[in-house]
Structure 1
Amino acid sequence: MHTHTHTVTHTLFMSIAVELSCIIESISSSAPRIEWKKIKDGNPSYVYFQGRISGDLENRARLNRPSSLVIENASRTDSAQYRCEVTAPDDKHSFAELLINLVVRVKPVTPVCAVPAAVPVGKPAEFRCSEEEGFPKPKFKWFRDSEELPLDPKSSPRFQNASYTLDTHTGVLSFEAVRKEDGGVYYCRAKNEAGSSECRAQKMEVYDLNVAGIVLGVVVVVTVLALVTTGICCAYRRGYLSQQKQSNFKAPAKSEGVDYVRTEDEGDFRHKSSFII
């Protein structure tokens, strides 16, 4: 037996089974000892030892006789180095190992996008795009009316007057000051080596800020409030809103009280009149 090292790369689009082949050739021992170890961040742990699966693959892996390892429902957390170790006491070379580098790639899911619905001309605007499932971590691109926004707007005649910055790692698209031409339908695409996904397209409107109209509205509101206040003050001065307190109640007359006196007979009550002074 000999020591071998090779790399296995799997691309994952859905939950699948991955077989890590460890083939034994020209062996004399009738019952060789088979062990599998998982090496993650330099720390080894047993996957198959003394005839049973252990660790985080306990319910998702099995040994495909005589020595290959099958991982069910492989995910990106299974990306690691796996070492197959074979011990054959009756062979000239009693020990051999095979090192497999497993990389599980996951296609991005639909990213979450945030696009402002309406922004006034000259104001800043920020678009966000995020995706957490893809592996390796995807990069992001933004599109307006189905046309990709270049990383550098100055590199394209259609976008050279735009004032935005695009971070392909975080998915943030920032406009320093939007223009009328920046209005349109936007969507984001997340892409890695396993594939790509896009979010739903969203429209951003860019409108003119009517400063004169806003100032006029404020003036009208202030004028109305001043007129109402003046009217109330005049009404008070002329006595229209004065209140006169009049008492329409009379002192209650002294009521005649009734005293109840119990007699010797059980349950027999009589009353006598008396005056409350």
Structure 2
Amino acid sequence: MLTRCRSGCVKMAGGVSLLRLLGLYVVLAESYQVWAKWVTTENPTLVVNEFDSVVLSCVIHSSQHKHRIEWKKLNAGTDLVYFDKQIQGDLINRAELQGDSSIKIRNVTRKDTAVYRCEVVFVETGHLDEVSVNLTVQVKPVTPKCTVPKSVPVGKAAVLTCREHEGYPPPTYIWYKNGDVLPRDPKSNPKFFNSSYKINYDTGTLHFSVTSKLDIGEYHCIAKNGAGQAKCEPQRMEVYDINIAAIIGGILIVVLVLLIISIVIRLAYKRGYFAKKQPANRYQASSKADSVDYVRSSPVDAEGDFRHKSSFII
């Protein structure tokens, strides 16, 4: 029931004026324009393989025909993808506008992995709305590099490694022995119940804390992610016993040989095999007494000797 108030306004039976209702309607309408989602996407999360094509969808829900569209790539910074009705940046030759507001990218690479934002400005009202698409480009792993020790002593530790650097997202690693998958817990499988290994699926490390004869076999690894997988060639690991008796016997033989050599050298010294020989041209002093005169060959000396002999006779 409507009633008229003194100031000329019209009231409803509950005492609420139509003027207030109109104001409330205006506020709700403005709130709707602020909070209403006029821009959406068909798929906010996209995962594609490298070199495939992908469409970043941006759907506009509005009766307003005049609008301005921008696409931006949000990664380490902010790069323009579509601006002023043109493709920008490194997508110039690989992307195009599809429909009214979506972007199609051909031959995607891992560098295209990022969050893309579609921004729409409605010219008539100046209202801005946006939507984001998270794109992940997967790269298939290449053949991983595996390292398997050829032989390990019984009871010693052994580390097997598997690594690959091309796959994206980074792959997980699965180890096989003789064609059988190594479970995370060796106690869960009767084939590996007595093994003492641990697997790191993120780093590709297979670690044996204590090896035994049961660990002998051929091992290979597979690197795997959403884009595919790759494996290394099987490599055999042997586990051998340590022969303590043979080691001690070898040491005794070496000691005995050294002892015999030292005895032989000592006997050779005693018998003079290593005595020093005197030089053949060594000068020897005369054995004659100092009081004996020697005959001199020079004339002067001969004459002197003659005088001496003459005086002696007289």
Q: What does residue 254 of structure 2 align with?
A: 221
Q: Is the 8 A contact 2:40 2:60 kept in 1?
A: no
Q: What does residue 244 of structure 1 align with?
A: 277
Structure 1 gap ranges (5+): 251-277
Measure the CA separation in 2 of the matches of 1:16 and 1:174. 38
Q: Is the 8 A contact 2:187 2:193 kept in 1?
A: yes
* Structure 1 length-normalised TM: 0.76
The structure with more radius of gyration = 2
Amino acid at match of 2:56: L
Measure the CA separation in 2 of the matches of 1:17 and 1:97. 23
Measure the CA separation in 1 of the matches of 2:51 and 2:143. 17
* Structure 2 length-normalised TM: 0.68
Matched-pair identity in % = 42
Structure (1/2) with the larger helix percentage: 2
Structure 1 counterpart SS, 2:166 = coil
Q: What does residue 142 of structure 2 align with?
A: 109
Give CA-to-partner distance per residue, 1:212-233, whole Å, 9 cap, x none.
1111112111211221122223
Q: CA, structure 1 residues 61+227, in 2 after alignment: closer, same or farther (shift >3 Å)?
A: same
What is the CA-CA distance between 1:64 and the residue it aligns to?
3.1
What is the CA-CA distance between 1:88 and the residue it aligns to?
5.0
Structure (1/2) with the larger strand percentage: 1
Q: How many residues align?
A: 243
* Residue 20 in structure 1 maps to residue 56 in structure 2: yes
Measure the CA separation in 2 of the matches of 1:217 and 1:200. 38
Give CA-to-partner distance per residue, 1:204-257, whole Å, 9 cap, x none.
11122111111111211121122112222322232212332526699xxxxxxx
Q: Could you say which structure has the greater relative contact order, defined with CA pairs below 8 angstroms and 6 or more residues apart?
A: 1
Moved more, 20-29 or 78-87: 20-29
What is the CA-CA distance between 1:18 and the residue it aligns to?
3.1
Q: What does residue 126 of structure 1 align with?
A: 159
Q: What does residue 221 of structure 2 align with?
A: 188
Q: What does residue 253 of structure 1 align with?
A: none
Measure the CA separation in 2 of the matches of 1:160 and 1:150. 10
Give CA-to-partner distance per residue, 1:124-171, whole Å, 9 cap, x none.
111111122222222222111001111111111121111111122221
Amino acid at match of 2:138: R
* Residue 140 in structure 1 maps to residue 181 in structure 2: no
Structure 2 gap ranges (5+): 1-36, 284-314
Q: What does residue 74 of structure 2 align with?
A: 39
Q: Is the 8 A contact 1:17 1:71 kept in 2?
A: yes
Q: For the aligned residues, what is the CA RMSD?
A: 2.8
